Amino acid sequence: MAKTFAVIGLGNFGSWVVRTLNELRQNTIAIDLDKDRVQKIRDFTRNPVIADATRKENLLSLGLDTANAVVISLGDNTSAATLIALYLQEMGVGQIIVKAVNEDHGKILRKVGATDIIFPEKDMGIKVAKSLVMPNILEFIEMSEDYQIAEIAPPNDFVGKTLAQLALPQRYSVQVIAVRELIPERFTIVPKGDFIIKDSDILVVIGKESNVNRIRSS
C-alpha cells in the first residue's frame, strides 16, 4: 500500500524528493508558495499545491496531520522551516525531515520537534571523502536493470520476527545481505536466520525492483 508524504519547498532538493517518491509510486503532496515551482512539478504528483506553509490552518486543511512523513526544504529561510516544523510537531506528525543550513539551525529544529535533520552539502562531502578512502565494493557488481540493492525500513509485521520466520527469499524472492541497526548503532553483514528485526533497523536487500517494492508497500 502506498504511503502519503508531503514535501514543503520545491527547490532543487525538494523537487527531486517529489520526483523520486513518484517513481516509487507513493502519494505525494508537493507544496510551495511559488506558482512557477509548483507548475514545474505537476507531472510528478497528483497533489501540487500553491500555499503558504507557515500558516498552520493551511497545513491542517491539506491533511498533513495524517501524512506518514513531511519533508521541509526551504533553503536559507530558517525561520519559516523552524516554524513549520513546530506546527507539524504540534499536529502530531510522526516523522518530520528538515533540510538545515548549518549545525545551529539543526539544533533549533531538534528542539521544536524535527525528527530527522539533513545537511546535504555536509552529507555529500562525507560520502565523497569516504568513497575515496574506502571504495564501495557494491559499485563494481554488475547487475541487470531490473535488480537492485536497496535499503528499506521493515514493515510493521516484520518487527519482532526473525529472518528465518520472515522467509523473505521464499515469500518475496529478496535476500537480506546486511542490517544497519540504529539502536544500538552497528552494521551486521549477512545476518543469521535467528536475527530479530527491530523497528529501528534498516534492511539492506538485493532482489528485483518489483519484489523490493512489494515489501515497501506491505
Give the start-to-end residue ranges of the domains of the chain: 4-124, 139-216
Q: With beta carbons less than 8 A apart as the criterion, state whether 69 and 114 touch.
A: no
Least confident residue range of 53-67, 88-102, 147-161: 147-161
Give the CATH class of 4-124: alpha beta
CA 119: distance to chain centroid?
14
Please report, for residues 36, 53, 55, 59, the alpha-carbon distance to residue 78 in angstroms, rounded to integers and kept in the order given. Answer: 22, 13, 15, 18
CA atoms within 13 A on the CB side of 92: 4
For residue range 115-131, list pLDDT tens digits in order: 999 988 887 777 667 66
End-to-end CA, the chain: 6
Write the burial class of residue 208 (CB in 10 Å: 0-12 exposed, 13-18 middle, 19+ buried).
middle
More confident residue, 23 or 84: 84
Q: Which CATH code, of 1.10.3210.10, 3.40.50.720, 3.40.718.10, 3.30.70.1450, is assigned to 139-216?
A: 3.30.70.1450
Confidence of residue 2 (pLDDT cuts 50, 70, 90): confident
Is the pLDDT at 144 greater than 70? The verdict is no
More confident residue, 49 or 200: 49
Confidence of residue 78 (pLDDT cuts 50, 70, 90): very high
Cell 533540510, located at residue = 99
Is the pLDDT at 72 greater than 50? The verdict is yes
Under DSSP, is residue 98 helix (H, G, I), strand (E, B) or coil? strand
